[in-house]
Chain A
Amino acid sequence: MRIFLNDESVQCVDSMTLAALLEQLRTLKPGTAVAVNQTIVPREQWEQHLLKDGDQILLFQAIAGG
């Protein structure tokens, strides 16, 4: 299925969990937060959260800034 990660189109298997996706992309770092279709998904739910076709995923990280 196709999902959007930070506005970029990504192909992935059908029953992908959020945790699996992030691990695949090697972005499972501390200090990150994820929102799926504008809703924040808490870290403890990443293992259970199943992605659907067309999901818009935004991945945030704490960075240096004022």
Chain B
Amino acid sequence: MATFTDRWRQLDWDDITLRINGKTTADVERALGANRITRDDLMALLSPAASQYLEPLARQAQRLTRQRFGNTVSFYVPLYLSNLCANDCTYCGFSMSNTLRRKTLDEAEIERECAAIRELGFEHLLLVTGEHQTKVGMDYFRRHLPAIRRRFSSLQMEVQPLDEHEYAELKTLGLDGVMVYQETYHQAVYAQHHLRGHKQDFFWRLKTPDRLGRAGIDKIGLGALIGLSGSWRTDCFMVAEHLLWLQQHYWQSRYSISFPRLRPCAGGVEPASVMSESQLVQVICAFRLLAPDVELSLSTRESPWFRDHMIPLAINTVSAFSKTQPGGYADNHPELEQFAPHDGRTPQEVAAALTRSGLQPVWKDWDNYLGRASQ
């Protein structure tokens, strides 16, 4: 059965990098004038030359976003169930070899977290775990998903890649979406940053969205860890190729793109290529032009100031007040964090800021009785 791997093998990283960097202002203008942009147009919009066209790019992106999503922005929140992990990844606080107090929430703790999150007003939940197949695997998910499901109107997961039949089973338990970020589409760079554990398997991870599509999962989230490879432009282009493939082959699923930036930080891994805030605007807007109907997400990794300006341009789903540690909502312990959120504002503060920009926060976008297999 064909998977994105077949397409990935046709893509030459160095050739794409050269082509993107070689795009001219004429190429950018053509892309901005097109009705439907091609892969070539996307390269132009991701190129250095496009940085001079940020304003028209942003205008188009905003127009397309309003057309498709109106003046709404959806709110979600991550719930970290566990920071146990069997992988060693250079960039992540949960790495197996990091000495960090490991915590996996039990039923009572999960219930406390859910209650605290409901208090904050959220209806859309993203469950996050490290990647530990034996201790936090299907048994754990089977046991806890039903109770969580009953509390929220939409449920997504960001956990270790699973088998197709496991996703199919989770769908019957009420799973609406899965986020799985390839981190980088450059195989050699990937190997340098994933040193131990099952996450070393580049192709297993790469084929995960295909398994999600075949399992009939409604929403599939993609993304690259921007800055992990030496050319974030190429990695972003690869995300787009991945999206286009999946849209062609699993037309009944919808898609979501995130843009996590690896920032320079003391003691952490240095980005091989640094993306500025201006370049982040450029990339997000380019994706909006490529795929006007796809969900674009901006997390609390970015600053309040940046989020307040960027969200009204082309973003249609955001998290707020994220605690990236298990148990963080009922009982905050920053030392257990996966990464330190830059925007620590409460959901209400974020919602108020966006309301001032003319956006309507949407807390609940779905309802339990609509097409759920488990009730």
Task: Determine direct contact between A and B, CB below 8 Å.
Answer: no
